[in-house]
Amino acid sequence: VIVIYESVRPQITILWRIPGTTIYRSTKQESSGSFVPNVFIARIGSSLYFANASFVKDMLLAYVADLEGVNPTEYIVLEMTPVISVDSTAVHAIEDIVKDFRNRGVRVALAMVGNRVERTMRKAGLKSFIGEQWFFPTVDDAVQYCVRHQHLKRTKAQQNVGDGAAAALEEGTLDSIAVVHGDEIGFSNEMHPDCTMAFLTL
């Protein structure tokens, strides 16, 4: 019964970054962390199929709504490591999630998608629907891209660039935008339980 419950209601884990690092950990496991402004990062806790796809969608919508007054979401990064398979219902649910958030002005990025899941998404046309550029090997790569995209989006809004010019500008400019963190000090026991590690970015 427990196994079935956890499968139907998979855990959605909120992640934040350990200051001074590119490491992202659960907010419940890591007491010292920082959220990325306007970027919501979550880990899907199990494979997706017909029985849990709607639950995952509803939970993501609820989290984003809850954060609206604290850290309004412009980007969602989904860490997919525990997702080892998806069925056709889940593919449609992910498409609905992306559509829904796009209508709200929120972009969805997927990180650490396994080969099996990636193949399923590609065959179903979901990868092309989301966009190849929104798939990343690590959470940090996804976050860096979102921050660059946000910077470019705001720059274009200030310059009043048209859609056609904006697409060309985005294609050639994103990689050239440097993303740096400010002065940070972070602490973690994640590396070794008997040691406290200090991370400094100055």
Phi-psi region of 164 (alpha: psi -120 to 50; beta: other; left: phi over 0): alpha
Range 163-182 average pLDDT:
56
- Residue 50 confidence (pLDDT): 78
Average predicted confidence (pLDDT) for the chain:
82
Query: What pTM does this model have?
Result: 0.80
- Residue 2 confidence (pLDDT): 42
Residue 16 and residue 29 in contact, taking contact as beta carbons nearer than 8 Å: no
Strand order in the sheet with 135-136: 24-26, 12-17, 39-44, 75-79, 107-111, 135-136
- Residue 159 confidence (pLDDT): 75
Whether the predicted pLDDT of 162 surpasses 80 = no
Whether the predicted pLDDT of 164 surpasses 80 = no
